[in-house]
Amino acid sequence: RVRVEGRTVLAQIIPAWHTIYEIIQLGEINMRLRNVPGAREVMVENEYVFTEPEGMKGTWHEVFGNDNPVRIEIGMGKGRFISTLAAQNPDINYVGIEKYSSVLLRAVEKQEELQLSNLRFIRMDAENICEVFGAGEVDRIYLNFSDPWPKARHAKRRLTSREFLARYEEILEDDGVVEFKTDNKGLFEFSLEEVGEAGWKLLAHTFDLHNQADMMEGNVMTEYEEKFSSMGNPICKLIAKQGKPEK
């Protein structure tokens, strides 16, 4: 038995592709970062954060004051990935989405130092993404080391499920793509299947990103990517586009 966020679960019911180590690690991280005193108040007052983004649909070019492409990261964590991209690409607008104020706080603190005009954050649940972005308003979606939701009954909560892919179709422009990275092979295999079942076109994929030069070009490491790769875990990546593959 293992103890996870106040609950005792039997190890044998956890799928093989979601290790006990990962369960415990995620539980510890969640308990530690969800309860930073004052985090929610900081989010409400900060100029870079939207805590009630409903009604912003179709207005993102006005928010940034230009017509540059808009790219989003869902589940951005502490924000190193999206902050690095924003600094490297001043002609592209970035929006980081994170559910928990205590996690988002780390990214906000960094942005206060960087003062990047092309970077904004939203505190929200990704299920409501179609209420915040309009049709064709997003150029690219990044998903990095997303929660695997190991139980089968929670499959639709995975950010690469066909349910979420349908949401992405509503906000992506015609040539828009989704990029997904994970060290969880089972989740990655699930994601490859979902891409096909959803009628999307798989543009590229690898089970060992750091040993595939063409896909590593321009790669920006996340905190988890750096940690897991240093432990010897291969990093998986896929790039997919809406629309059925050519026959």
DSSP tally for the chain: helices H, then strands E? 9, 10
Give, rounded to a whole angstrom, the gap between the first and last alpha carbons of the chain: 49
pLDDT at 117: 96
| Coil vs helix vs strand at 93 | strand
pLDDT at 51: 82
C-alpha angle 14-146-86 in degrees, rounded to nearest 5: 165
C-alpha angle 195-196-199 in degrees, rounded to nearest 5: 90
Torsion of CA 203, 156, 22, 235, to 10 degrees: 0
Task: Give the pLDDT confidence of 32-60 residue by residue, as tens digits.
Answer: 445 554 455 555 557 788 888 888 999 99
Mean pLDDT (the chain, rounded): 85
Catalytic residues: 147
Strands 7-9 and 2-4 turn out to be: antiparallel
Task: Give the pLDDT confidence of 81-115 residue by residue, as tens digits.
Answer: 999 999 999 999 999 999 988 888 889 989 999 99
Residue 122 neighbours by CB under 8 Å, 6+ apart:
49, 50, 51, 53, 95, 96, 97, 98, 132
Between 29 and 78, the higher pLDDT residue: 78
Residue 245, pLDDT > 80, answer no
93: left (phi over 0), alpha (psi -120 to 50) or beta: beta
C-alpha angle 30-32-38 in degrees, rounded to nearest 5: 110
